[in-house]
């Protein structure tokens, strides 16, 4: 599918964001993750639940917000007859059920064609069904930084209410939304414990993201510089060619710890699911077709096309 960058680019005073992640406003500034973005979108359009896990610092939030959500929103504007409206949520501290329903209401507002926004109620499954009908399409709900939810499950009333509501929405007879859970690698094992009594197999459809390699990092750096230089009223910037390759380095996976990309070891949980199930998941997780990103050069027959 042909991609076009938006006409109105969010203005910036610098080509780069530093240590912060790219949010959806800066989709025009986000480069180097087009293949991963396409595979994630294709998974979301084909399955009710996708699990995305990666090490801390890989760039999951930027990929999901400035990559996946930005692209889906552009497609929803251009193709009203078959739209998938993205909703990104990561506010886990205070009543995440109400917070997510409010985020859904905000996300669908531009797509209700001038009609009054519908009342979504207080239950997640009903809210997604009502919102989906209002926009004449489906919802894509991205639950980012899900590891933080585990810090607040006991403060919900009743405890783990969000997990109950999410399970009902995923297992509905006719799901009105597809969901993506994004989580750090050191926390993904706890998902099996959270959902095993709720008839949701969170490991049935999973992907992992790797670090950028030198080529994709260069694409991100130079793409951002080109966007910056195309702004009006800015002083053009460039990278000294003599120092270019010294500045772009792949991440080091040594320094006294195992290279997780080559030897992904099982992560421990504060609880554990059955050892047989854990081993089956770990065996599947090593499959190259389940990994996306520059660090994984092979993709198996299950690899999906880019959107």
Q: Are 209 and 58 in contact, with CB atoms under 8 Å apart?
A: yes
Which residue, among 203, 67, 195, has the nearest Cα to 140 in the 3D structure? 67
Name the domain count of the chain: 1
Q: Are strands 138-143 and 84-89 parallel, antiparallel or unpaired?
A: parallel
Looking at residues 21-36, what average pLDDT do you find? Answer: 94
253 found inside a domain: no
Residue 87 has pLDDT above 90, yes or no: yes
pLDDT for the residue numbered 240: 76
pTM of the model: 0.80
16 found inside a domain: no
Q: Each residue of 62-83: pLDDT tens digit?
A: 999 999 999 999 999 998 888 8
Q: How many degrees, rounded to 5, is the angle at CA 216 between CA 209 and CA 231?
A: 115
CB within 8 Å of 82: residues ≥ 6 apart: 137
d(CA 247, CA 93): 38
300 found inside a domain: no
233 found inside a domain: yes
Which residue, among 31, 33, 36, 6, has the nearest Cα to 17 in the 3D structure? 31
196 found inside a domain: yes
72 found inside a domain: yes
Q: Check residues 297 and 137 and name the one with the higher pLDDT.
A: 137
Q: Each residue of 181-225: pLDDT tens digit?
A: 999 999 988 999 999 999 999 999 999 999 999 999 999 999 999
Domain that holds residue 202: 27-240+258-292
Tokens 């130079």: give the residue.
Answer: 222
pLDDT for the residue numbered 249: 61
State the pLDDT confidence band at 248, using cuts at 50, 70 and 90.
low
CATH value at residue 188 = 3.40.50.300
114 found inside a domain: yes
246 found inside a domain: no
Secondary-structure percent of the chain, ordered helix, strand, coil, rounded to 5: 45, 10, 45
Between the ranges 101-110, 149-158, 256-265, where is the mean pLDDT highest? 101-110
Cis peptide bond upstream of 253, omega within 30: no
Looking at residues 245-269, what average pLDDT do you find? Answer: 43
Q: Are 145 and 182 in contact, with CB atoms under 8 Å apart?
A: yes
């Amino acid at each position: 599918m042909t991609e076009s960058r938006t006409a109105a680019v969010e203005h910036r005073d610098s080509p780069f964001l530093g240590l912060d992640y790219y949010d959806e406003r800066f989709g025009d500034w986000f480069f180097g993750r087009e293949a991963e973005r396409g595979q994630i979108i294709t998974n979301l359009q084909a399955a009710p639940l996708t699990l995305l896990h990666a090490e801390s610092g890989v760039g999951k939030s930027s990929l999901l917000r400035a990559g996946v959500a930005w692209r889906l929103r552009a497609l929803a504007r251009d193709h009203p007859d078959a739209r998938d409206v993205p909703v990104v949520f990561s506010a886990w501290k205070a009543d995440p059920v109400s917070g997510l329903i409010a985020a859904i209401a905000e996300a669908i507002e531009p797509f209700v064609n001038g009609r009054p926004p519908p009342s979504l109620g207080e239950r997640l499954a009903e809210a997604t069904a009502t919102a989906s009908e209002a926009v004449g399409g489906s919802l894509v709900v991205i639950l980012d930084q899900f590891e933080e939810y585990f810090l607040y499950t006991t403060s919900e009333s009743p405890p783990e209410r969000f997990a109950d509501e999410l399970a009902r929405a995923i297992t509905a007879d006719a799901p009105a939304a597809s969901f993506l859970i994004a989580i750090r690698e050191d926390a993904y094992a706890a998902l099996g414990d959270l959902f095993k009594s709720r008839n949701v197999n969170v490991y049935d459809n999973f992907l992992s993201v790797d670090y950028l390699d030198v080529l994709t990092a260069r694409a991100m750096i130079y793409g951002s510089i080109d966007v910056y230089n195309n702004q009006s009223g800015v002083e053009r910037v460039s990278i000294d060619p003599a120092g270019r390759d010294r500045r772009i380095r792949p991440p080091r996976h040594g320094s006294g710890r195992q290279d997780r990309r080559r030897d992904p070891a099982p992560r421990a949980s504060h609880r554990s699911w059955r050892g047989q199930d854990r081993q089956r998941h770990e065996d599947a997780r090593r499959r190259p077709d389940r990994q996306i990103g520059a660090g994984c050069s092979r993709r198996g027959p299950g690899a999906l096309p880019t959107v």
